[in-house]
Structure 1
């Protein structure tokens, strides 16, 4: 079955499209246009949020320096030879997500430690994918270039609960202030 391709603002049911899935993978891919300056380093992260839309705790922000949520439901998969052209992946064990987690925000940001201030201006072909356990693409969201550009962080998408169902929403909301703006928006400290 071909993957569902979403546009900004659209959503699709993960539960319906992967009915037997207990674990899914969120894959991120992009290309960086080379320049004479420092290369832009894009970093994905996942933020497990409560009913209020804020991070449950700072330990529920999963990225390369904090690779596992406290409940072990969300994990950052180190890069390497990832399937399907993904540059980075985050794995989500839907059965382990505690009942107080209502959504998982999927973020991409330009690493401020590598390049100041750094933006998505040189990033092309940014895609977020939901994969089943076998690695088959189920849902795809090509993040629109207009939602990247001069921003340095973007909420690319969101996994969220709707009654007994998990869904994926294509968001594409950019932040000019980068990961600091993301932290403020989701209520955690860097």
Structure 2
């Protein structure tokens, strides 16, 4: 049975699921009945964060143009440019057993591509969620439905995986940013130029 999380909630991931090493992070969304003349292209990304909470370089930033990082431990499976259809719109595969020892957190984010010229923001997005699935059994372990808390934001940190000793935990974040991918990169210590 999947656990439904609320904003800020933390949960043990590997301790409560012994033997769990590979997870699929599925992210999904719908757009409100709004037509600005362009599709909504939301993009999932992962930031591999060191002890200071910052990414250090390109290998620590996984997205549609850099689909693998952390020595192959985190892999973006592809870009969905419209969000059409049911289920996950984009997925990120994470092999927790292979995440480099110097990485203490993995931030999972979603941004709106080309939001400025398209006049788009998360106020026009509904039913946004992140779910964690056991890759071996395809069983959904947990789900965080983002809610309708955003109006002008163009980037959202959905969740983070983090190390606690030898175990991995999960936290539902739900923190919005204005400024799209550039703002997120700056937040995580990268230059987005």
Q: Normalized against structure 2, the TM-score is what?
A: 0.90
Aligned to 2:21: 22
Aligned partner of 1:88 among 75, 90, 106? 90
Aligned partner of 1:169 among 168, 171, 174? 171
Write the deviation string for residues 35-81 of structure 1: whole angstroms up to 9, x where unpaired.
3322221110000000000013222110111000051010001268x
CA distance in 2, matches of 1:14, 1:182: 25
Aligned to 1:142: 145
Return the offset for 1:142: 0.5
CA distance in 2, matches of 1:139, 1:36: 32
Q: Which runs of 5+ in 1 are unaligned?
A: none
The answer to which of 4-13 and 52-61 deviates more is 52-61
Write the deviation string for residues 126-175 of structure 1: whole angstroms up to 9, x where unpaired.
110010012211011111211x3210001010000011110110000100
* Residues 1:19 and 1:44: Cα distance change in structure 2 (over 3 Å): same
Q: Does 1:78 align with 2:81?
A: no
Aligned to 1:66: 66
Equivalenced residue count is 185
Q: Does 1:54 align with 2:57?
A: no
* Residues 1:144 and 1:90: Cα distance change in structure 2 (over 3 Å): same
Q: Which runs of 5+ in 2 are unaligned?
A: 81-85
SS in 2 for 1:145: coil
Q: Does 1:180 align with 2:179?
A: no
Contact 2:110/2:158, CA 8 A, preserved across alignment = yes
CA distance in 1, matches of 2:16, 2:151: 32
